[in-house]
Amino acid sequence: MREKIVAGNWKMHKTLEESQALITEIRGIIRDELRGQTRVIVCPPFIALTAASRLLEGTDIGLGAQNCHFEDQGAYTGEISAPMVKSTGARYVIIGHSERRQFFGDTNEITARKAKNAIRHGLKVIFCVGETLQQREDKTYFKVVEAQLRDGLFDLDRKEFSQVVIAYEPVWAIGTGLTASPEQAQEMHAYIRKVVATHYTDEIAADTSILYGGSVKPDNAATLFGQEDIDGGLIGGAALKARDFVDIVKGMR
Ligand code: 13P
């Protein structure tokens, strides 16, 4: 059966020292308060991955990067490859976040290459999809998300696809305080599961974790996570506060 997951995407926040402090705090609260059914993952900036990996040794908390390049190495100044991410001890990587798509030119084709290469190197991919406000208003959102899935993921064979977690993040809900209603989110999650079932199998779709992201907070987490096809969350702003992040994880039961 599919895993319940809450992942924190720290984006471009926290220096090395601040990251270490936040990881230590999250680790402490989780140890004291959670008996885990839910997989918890933190995705700090690249510069903190190695230190985070050491701090998380012996815990069940997973570690992920927020991006990686599609080549293993080469003349790509400023980029980080999947083997480099792997060498820090991280086991996950977020691919296709809307901020990467919007500000750094990550097209569906690029996200496909990134996802494929990350999986080849043994990373699990948290693959983000989601429509803009314009696309929601135009009512093209199902088509947009379907294309992101098809062009970004569906070249993967079944074994590769088993390493994918999907995150639905409507762009209009990210960092805006506007959350998709539980019904809007559930509708899209069910649709995503159907698209996966059509391309792969019903069984594979049933085993795929689909996370919701976009202004998830401690006070709305439980209702969102209570929806049938919502298997957890990808948390931005609220993942930067240990107390809020763990309270969101608690919304998962
Ligand atoms: P917020 O939780 O800050 O809206 O961000 C969501 C997000 O983009 C997580 O990847």
Residue 179 Cβ < 6 Å to ligand 1: no
- Full set of structural domains in the chain with CATH: 5-250 (3.20.20.70)
Handedness of CA 34, 22, 214, 149 (dihedral sign): negative
- Identify the active-site residue in 99, 131, 146, 169: 169
Residue 39 and residue 50: Cα distance in Å, rounded?
20
Q: Long-range CB contacts (< 8 A, 24+ apart) of 109-112?
A: 109/151, 110/70, 111/148, 111/151, 111/152, 112/151, 112/152, 112/153, 112/155
Predicted confidence (pLDDT) per residue in 1-13, tens digit: 899 999 999 999 9
DSSP one-letter code for 162: T
Ranges assigned E (strand) in the chain? 5-9, 39-43, 62-65, 92-95, 124-129, 164-168, 210-213, 232-235
In ligand 1, which atom is closest to the CA atom of 167? 10
Predicted confidence (pLDDT) per residue in 106-119, tens digit: 999 999 999 999 99
User: Is the whole-model pTM more than 0.85?
Assistant: yes
Predicted confidence (pLDDT) per residue in 52-64, tens digit: 999 999 999 999 9
Residue 159 pLDDT greater than 90, yes or no: yes
- Identify the active-site residue in 97, 99, 131, 189: 97
Residue 253 pLDDT greater than 80, yes or no: no
Residue 178 pLDDT greater than 90, yes or no: no
